[in-house]
Each structure stands twice: as structure tokens, then as C-alpha cells.
């Protein structure tokens, strides 16, 4: 079942690919962008990881943590996603337990729609992952903005395999929080 704001984000304890425990949904005072990706070889996902990596320093300076979850095993995540260091935690969830908790869906139609409608992004992603990017699962991505108290502020369930929350919405989330904090001070 899909989650909705402004409910509490489900609390989960996950291990990143380096074995560090990552707690999601706990009041930490930090805002979080929680990204669920398809699988480690997904060209759309790898292009988004590239974008997140490029924007990460600016987002982190504004007080936003990024967590990336893949429905793949650790060797696949290391091979495709983490072959270059990532400045945020990357989690392998091959059993899909976190995906079930957050109501992530599967869709062959969504996968095919992305292939047909997002050709430039597909080609950019295939440059990253190679032909392995043509053999991916049907899991749809989803993104969640979580406030410092562990509550969902916005949920974004993808309409196709290349659909992610726009960076403008992420920046608005960060800016809104900064304005609220400065007004309270």
C-alpha cells in the first residue's frame, strides 16, 4: 500500500553496502531524501545517481541527507552503482523488504513507457552501465522527503521507470524548512 504525507515514515534499520547501519524514519533533526531505485543495472537509475552525486554537496550544505536503496544484491550494487565512490549511503535490498514497507510497485508498462519516452536519459544511462542495462526488473522507483522529526512531507511514486521527484521539489522542501527554522529563531 502506498504511503502518504504527513504520516510518520516507517522506521527501518538497513545496512549500507559497507555494513553501516542506516536508520530511516527516526527523528534526527536532519531532513532526508530517501530514494528507491529499480535495480543496480538500471540505466535510468544510474543516471539519477550521477545527478544526485553531482548535486549532493549543495544539498548536504542545506541540511539534506540522501539515502539510495536498490533492489539488487551487494555485488551488483558495487559493480554498477558504487564502482565510483558515492557521497551518500547506498543500500542493497535484494529481498525487497524496504520496498514492501514503503509500498513500491512493479510495472512492465512503466518500464516500457520509460524506454519509449525517455530515450535521451536511457542512452546516457546505458553509457554508464552498458548492455546490462537492458536486462532489468520491473520495479518502479519512488522518492520520499522526510523531515527532521521522521515524518513524510512528500511521496513520489514513479509513473514510469525513469520518473523521479524533480530537483525543484527537493530544493523547495529544503528552502521551506530553512525559512521555517530562521523564522523560529
- Whether omega before 6 lies within 30 degrees of 0, making that bond cis, reads yes
CB 107 within 8 A of CB 140: yes
Question: Which secondary structure element, helix H or strand E, spans residue 143, and what is its range?
Answer: strand 142-146
pLDDT at 82 over 90: no
Asked if residue 96 belongs to a domain, the reply is yes
CB 145 within 8 A of CB 33: yes
- CATH number, domain of 23, equals 3.40.30.10
- pLDDT > 90 fraction of the chain, expressed in percent and rounded: 74
Position 1 confidence tier, pLDDT thresholds 50, 70, 90: confident
- How confident is the model at residue 109, as a pLDDT? 92
- How confident is the model at residue 122, as a pLDDT? 85
- How confident is the model at residue 179, as a pLDDT? 75
- How confident is the model at residue 70, as a pLDDT? 97
Asked if residue 1 belongs to a domain, the reply is no
Q: How many domains does the chain have?
A: 1
Q: pLDDT, tens digit, for every residue of 157-169?
A: 999 999 999 999 9
β-pair type (21-24, 64-70)? unpaired
Backbone angles phi, psi at 92, to 5 degrees: -100, 125
Asked if residue 6 belongs to a domain, the reply is no
Backbone angles phi, psi at 8, to 5 degrees: -65, 140
- Sign of the Cα pseudo-torsion (99, 103, 175, 8, in order): negative
Separation between Cα atoms, residue 40 and residue 67, nearest integer Å: 14
Range of the domain at 138: 12-180
Question: Which secondary structure element, helix H or strand E, spans residue 69, and what is its range?
Answer: strand 64-70
Q: pLDDT, tens digit, for every residue of 92-142?
A: 999 999 999 999 999 999 998 998 998 899 888 888 887 777 778 899 999
Asked if residue 66 belongs to a domain, the reply is yes
Amino acid at each position: 500500500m502506498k504511503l502518504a504525507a504527513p504520516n510518520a515514515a516507517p522506521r527501518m534499520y538497513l545496512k549500507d553496502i559497507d555494513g553501516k547501519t542506516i536508520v530511516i524514519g527516526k527523528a534526527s533533526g536532519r531532513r532526508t531524501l530517501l530514494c528507491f531505485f529499480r535495480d543496480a543495472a538500471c540505466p535510468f537509475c544510474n543516471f539519477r545517481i550521477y545527478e544526485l552525486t553531482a548535486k549532493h554537496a549543495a544539498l548536504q550544505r542545506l541540511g539534506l541527507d540522501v539515502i539510495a536503496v536498490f533492489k539488487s544484491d551487494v555485488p551488483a550494487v558495487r559493480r554498477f552503482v558504487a564502482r565510483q565512490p558515492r557521497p551518500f549511503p547506498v543500500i542493497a535490498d535484494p529481498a525487497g523488504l524496504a520496498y514492501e514497507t514503503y509500498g513500491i510497485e512493479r510495472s512492465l508498462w512503466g518500464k516500457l513507457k520509460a524506454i519509449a519516452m525517455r530515450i535521451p536519459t536511457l542512452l546516457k544511462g546505458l553509457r554508464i552501465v552498458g548492455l546490462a542495462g537492458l536486462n532489468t526488473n520491473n520495479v518502479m522507483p519512488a522518492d520520499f522527503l522526510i523531515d527532521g522529526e521522521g515524518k513524510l512531507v512528500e511521496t513520489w511514486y514513479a509513473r514510469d521507470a525513469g520518473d523521479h521527484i524533480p530537483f525543484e521539489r527537493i530544493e523547495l522542501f529544503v528552502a521551506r524548512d530553512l525559512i521555517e527554522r530562521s523564522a523560529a529563531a
